[in-house]
Chains A and B, each alone.
Chain A
Amino acid sequence: MDFFLQQCVNALQWGSFYALIALGYTLVYGVLRLINFAHGDIFMVGAYISFFASTFFLSPDGPSLSRELALALTVPCSVILTSGVGVTLERIAYRPLRRKGAHRLYVVITALMCGLVLENGNLALLGASRKALPDLLEKHIYVIGPVAVTNLKLLVIFVALLVFILLHAIVSKTRIGMAMRAVSWDKFALPLMGIPLDRVIVFTFMLGSGIAGLGGMLFAMSYPVLDPYMGAMTGWKAFIAAVVGGIGDIRGAFAGGFLLAFVEIMVAAFLPSTFRDLFAFSILLLILWKRPTGMFGLPITTKI
């Protein structure tokens, strides 16, 4: 039982990463019906940006700041710069295709290529040696009953929850959020209401990529070894989590992320860990078989 509870905490942390990435997939899909397959690599870029930012802030020849201050400055750096990367991708890769009215297939292939460009561009630029994020947080371990949890784990889970609540508020309460929901239903009518479609799309990419940047930074703090391919598999899995949750729905992305992490961690904890992906994906397949639109997804119908 103690072991199980401990694994639950681990699943919550691992699920937070999936959830933070899945939110970006689901936002962009919800608004554009586009699966932004470069999103996992945007997460990777976020981790690297946090590496460069924190190394710079801590460097004795540079600002040489305290750890707390460096952490406080690295967060906005990662979020803002990563969202800049996402917006740039939208500008140079997706928008021209949208303007030409290209078929969705071409857009998806473009997204895959953007991902590869980010991965291999990173490899070419920075070389294959792995980077290690400097320590930004003094480690504390809290023992609550049978469970031991670090302050970093708590921070990760707390941030994921906070991001979800904020995002939910933005989408359901604000005007731009209302416009995002409107686009997800009907892109054609939005300009007729005087709303610039491109601005809504850019805002969506900003949100999604910014969240991925934050996720990348927290991931790098938890597992401080960075490599250019770190976003690929994690990104794929987060995408699957978003689909299982019901892609296009932010509650779905959040729940799907935690569900996937829970299954993975528990399988690895109680069965040979090589079974992890087999079991995880089989369970997800079962869910999709029973509910093809995911846990929160609804099939869309229109009235003529």
Chain B
Amino acid sequence: MISVENLYAAYGKIEALHGVSFHVRQGEIVTLIGSNGAGKSTTLKALMRLAPPESPTVTGGDIRFNGRSLLNVEPHDVVDRFKMTLVPEGRHIFGNLTVMENLSLSAWTRKNEDTRKTLDHIFGLFPRLAERSRQRSDTLSGGEQQMLAVGRALMTNCSVLLLDEPSMGLAPVLMYDMFRTLKRLNDTGLTIVVVEQNARLALEVADRAYVLDTGEIVAEGSGEELMRRPEIREAYLGG
């Protein structure tokens, strides 16, 4: 479905990805793990074609979605035409809007469609959001904000969901809840690419995983397989 081919990306003159290749099949959960600065977020931002300076410029290679190159596609068209979106690191919800406004704004590309079904689906996954739908979203707790960030992404009617550090800043219980929810979404057919620092959590739910180190893929395999490898355990799972 998605194939990243020998991707080079840079922030200004500083190269952050040095020839990254990986692929994602329809219906999979794929995770990218690696330490700080390995290029995980950079890879997701490049996939979404977000603009510099916050996001990298692709300097080589290609990103293909069902065979079509995304390199000349605008980020809002990645969402609109390719049905792929990103839950960014730090959530980036619209704090000055209510929960409901955040959700309905995200249905921008679905002008004439009935979005009530999606909304019910989201409220089913995250009942807390339904309770707080009229509240300004910056009054939500961190965990609820993360739910809103995921709910908002689902509202775009995406078939591929990219998530950047969904566990960041969450209490362990909420972290597990979030990954359980992702698994449930995956069971309904959503393709998921998740970037995580909490490698154990990510490897447990992932069908396949790639390990990034300083802008290069250094290992790949199924989640279980990687968890058994001593060098991975040593470097990313705390022995």
Interface residues of A (CB under 8 A from B): 99, 101, 175, 178-179, 181-182, 184-186, 188-197, 301-304
Contacts and interface: CB of A to CB of B under 8 A. Distances in A.
B229 to A, nearest CB: 33
Contact of B97 (A101, A181, A194, A303): A181
Taking each of A178, A191, A301, which has the highest tally of chain B beta carbons within 10 Å of its own beta carbon? A191
B43 interface: no
Nearest to A304: B169
B157 to A, nearest CB: 9
A195 B95 contact: no
Interface residues of B, number: 36
Taking each of A192, A196, A302, which has the highest tally of chain B beta carbons within 10 Å of its own beta carbon? A192
B224 interface: no
A194 B108 contact: yes
Nearest to B156: A194
Interface of B: 48, 50-54, 74-76, 79-80, 85-86, 88, 90, 92-97, 101-102, 104-106, 108-109, 138, 142, 145, 152-153, 155-156, 169
B88 A188 contact: yes
A247 to B, nearest CB: 15
Contacts of B94: 181-182, 185-186, 189
Taking each of B79, B97, B106, B108, which has the highest tally of chain A beta carbons within 10 Å of its own beta carbon? B108
**A contact face: mostly helix, strand, loop, or mixed:** helix
23 contacts: A99-B51, A175-B105, A179-B105, A179-B108, A181-B94, A181-B97, A182-B96, A182-B105, A185-B96, A186-B93, A186-B95, A188-B50, A188-B88, A189-B88, A191-B50, A191-B74, A192-B48, A192-B86, A193-B76, A193-B155, A194-B106, A194-B108, A302-B138
Contacts of A304: 90, 142, 169
Contacts of B76: 190-191, 193-197
